[in-house]
Amino acid sequence: MLTVNDLHVAIDGKEILRGVDLNVKAGEVHAIMGPNGSGKSTLAQALAGREGYEVTSGSVRYQKLDLLAMTPEQRAREGVFLAFQYPVEIPGVSIALFLKTALNTTRKQKGLPELDAMDFLDLMRDKMRQLEMDESFLSRAVNEGFSGGEKKRNEILQMLILEPKLIILDEPDSGLDIDALRFVADSINKMRSPTRAIVLVTHYQRLLDYIVPDVVHVLSQGRIVKSGGAKLAKELEKHGYGWVEAEDMAKQVA
Amino acid sequence: MNAQLESWRNMELEQIPHTLVGHNVPWVLAARQSAFERFTLHGFPTRHEEEWKYTDVSMISRRTSLAPDNIPPEPSSDARLLAWTLADENMHVMVFVNGHYDPTLSKIDDLPPGVRLESLEDLLNNADELPEAFFEQQLEHTVFSALNNAFTTGGTVLSLPPDTVLDKPIYLLFIASGHGVAIYPRNIIIAGENSRAKVIEHYMGTLDAHNFTNAITQISLGAGAEIEHCKLLQEGPAATHIAGIHAEQSADSHFISHSFALGGHLGRNDITSKLLGKGCHCLLNGLYMLDERQHMDHHTRIDHFSPEGISQEYYRGVINGSAHGVFNGKVIVHAGAIKTNAHQANHNLILSRQAEVDTKPQLEIFADDVKCTHAATVGQLDDDSLFYLRSRGIDADLARSVLIYGFANDIINRVEVPYLRSRIEHLVLNRLPQGEQVKGLL
């Protein structure tokens, strides 16, 4: 579903990703782990089409599409979804209407009829119950005045409603207490399906206790330096990132 | 006396007061003549004066004759149409064409006993003494108020007896019709103790004409009175508009001022309030949305003279094209005005490289035990917010419009008259790409 080939990305002239290769098939969950500053968030945002993130070389294919040639809104309409690490407050814009507009643009792209207000509200209430979110959220502005945990839940709510094909989650666990973490993890697990792929960016192994990945990649200094199964995450927890980095260094010297 | 002032004399402008309404009433003529003297003594301000540093008014007298029409014009079909489309059932409507009251376009419903809502023209014709004190009042606001005093042809006088509440808002529509016309509206609002009213002043120009409007509104609030005043500026694209709105507040009164500046080539609003009594509340709320080569200047001044006053000021600007926005907010806490609470914020959104903003908060505090804060920012649309909206499938133009509207909405939301709020929403959305869709997101 997603093939990233030798991706180089620079921000303000500084190269952050230095040749990332990644191959994610439909039905798989890939975890991207790595120390702070390794380029995890840059990878997530570059895949979603963040402006100012300059792709200096490499290619990204999503299904049969050249992802890098598409605007962020085109990517979203084709089913790419990024759950932000730091969701943005949009004062004055109601969550309900924002999500209704977002959903109907993607439905239009798929050739489906637009949902009317009543059907949309039913859908929204149903998904909010699943996340144990209060109904009062419906009348609030997008992320405005939300706590860190509320913002994260709102990202997951959007994921549930938009039903994307490629889900990129940028540290969905940061700022969550243990109960909230469980809701979020359950919701993500429920999204797993043979027609969908998930890329999960996380700093800590904790989240992977709840969402068991098919493949774990370690990103260091802008490259994937090690890949393995779910066990790799456990080893990282035991030995820290220094261990993988040292191993990679040795490999390069040799 | 410089050449320009000389030429005004030669043009026999000073004879004009003899031809205007009230010329046979001694105090009116005397007030007009002394105001004209004050005007010629100074002439128009230049950019060397601090208060006019960013706003160049030198072209006014080159583009228009300063002389007002002394007879009411026949309202054009445009003006009639405007008056009919804009007036609302639930308001008292007074329409002025080129500064002259037009009773045929107006509709004043039944008023509570003792309330006077009349045309200034009628009052001056009848030698009514109600406006006298306001004409005599020396407005510190310069040459333009002097010029208005000398040349005004009409406006509204509203007088509310104590404890009277006007349920319906008063809608004053000033239409500029024709070319090269000079218009001098003068409005006087006298709110008795504990009275309440809402007044809308709407300025519209229908043509791409070089008209000049110089308006003054004076508002006197008795103890415990509440006036919500809303000025909506939508002059034609070549028009010049200079105006003053000056309030004086007695104890525990509440003055709410909104200013929405959306149209006109060159605009300047001086909005001031004097908090004379204890426990006054003053809210100044404003939005300027400029494009192309528009220039809009707001100078506000709040004087806290007594203890326990609250003033809040929120002004926002959205500046596109090569437009220029100016905001100068003065708050003066005089000695003795203890326990004053003053807050001021001016935020500006710049949408193009050529757009320009000058913002200057000015707090002067001469009393102890006060709480005063201010903030002024000039910025661009936030990239993170834009990306967030786009990453959900919302296209770039719509995302931009949504963010601009969200920014402006903070000001629009403070308008309490529903008809007016939705009208302003509509006007603002009309100026944004995909404005209709923006509405679907709010």
Can you give the residue ranges of every domain in chain A?
2-253
Interface residue of A142, A166, A168, A170 to substitute, partner B, most B CBs within 10 Å: A142
- List B residues 385-414 in contact with A (Cβ-Cβ < 8 A): 385-396, 399, 402-403, 405-407, 409-410
- CB contact under 8 Å between A73 and B437, yes or no, is no
Q: Structural domain boundaries of chain B?
A: 3-277, 382-442
CB pairs under 8 A between A and B: 87
Closest to B322 (Cα-Cα) out of B354, B358, B288, B359: B354
Who among A48, A91, A101 is closest to B441 (CB)?
A101
Reported pTM: 0.89
- In this prediction, the answer to ipTM > 0.90 reads yes
Helix axes A241-253, A231-239, angle to 10 degrees: 100
- Compare all CA atoms of chain A with the CA of B389 and give the residue at the minimum distance: A73
> Does 3.40.50.300 match the CATH number of domain A2-253?
yes
Q: A72 Cβ partners below 8 Å, 6+ apart?
A: A48, A49, A50, A51, B387, B390, B391
Does the beta-carbon distance from B396 to A84 stay under 8 Å? no
- Cα dihedral sign for A163, A168, A174, A179? positive
Average pLDDT over chain B, rounded to whole?
91
Nearest-CB residue to B385 (from A71, A90, A109): A90
pLDDT, mean of residues A226-249: 85
Q: pLDDT tens digits for B70-99?
A: 777 777 777 777 777 777 778 999 999 999
Helix, strand, or coil (residue A250):
helix
**pLDDT tier, B150 (very low <50, low <70, confident <90, very high otherwise):** very high
Residue range A27-78, pLDDT digits in tens: 999 999 998 889 999 999 999 999 989 999 999 999 999 999 999 999 999 9
Per residue, the 3-state secondary structure of B24-38, as one string, reads CCHHHHHHHHHHHHH
pLDDT at B220 over 90: yes
Name the residue in chain A with its Cα closest to that of B399: A73
Q: Please tell me the distance from the alpha carbon of residue A220 to that of residue B307, in angstroms, as a whole number.
A: 63
Quote the crossing angle between the two packed helices B3-10 and B26-42, to the nearest 10°. Answer: 150
pLDDT (0 to 100) of residue B1? 44
Q: Which residues of A touch B409 (CB under 8 A)?
A: 91-92
Residues facing A33 on adjacent strands: A202, A218
Hey, which bits of B305-433 come out as E strands?
310-319, 324-333, 341-350, 356-365, 371-379
CA B150 distance to own-chain centroid: 19
At A153, is the secondary structure helix, strand, or coil? helix
| Helix, coil or strand: residue B362 | strand
* Cα–Cα distance, B152 to B161 (Å, whole number): 26
Q: How far apart are CA B423 and CA B425, in angstroms?
A: 5
Nearest alpha carbon to residue B201 among B261, B290, B248? B261
Q: Dig out the tokens for B171 from the structure.
A: 């809608």
Average pLDDT, integer, range B45-68: 87
Task: Tell me if B8 sits within 8 A of B40, measured CB to CB.
Answer: yes
Model confidence pLDDT, tens digit, residues A2-15: 999 999 999 999 99
Which amino acid, one-letter code, is at A44? Answer: A
What is the b/e burial string over A32-52, where b = at least 16 CB atoms within 10 angstroms of the residue's CB? bbbbeebbbbbbbbbbbbbee
d(CA B268, CA B298) in angstroms, rounded, equals 6
pLDDT confidence of residue B140: 62
Neighboring chain A residues of B314 at a CB cutoff of 8 Å: none
Q: Tokens at residue B234, please?
A: 């939508």
What percent of chain B lies above the pLDDT cut of 90? 72
Tens of pLDDT along A110-166? 899 999 889 999 999 999 998 888 888 888 899 999 988 889 999 999 999 999 999
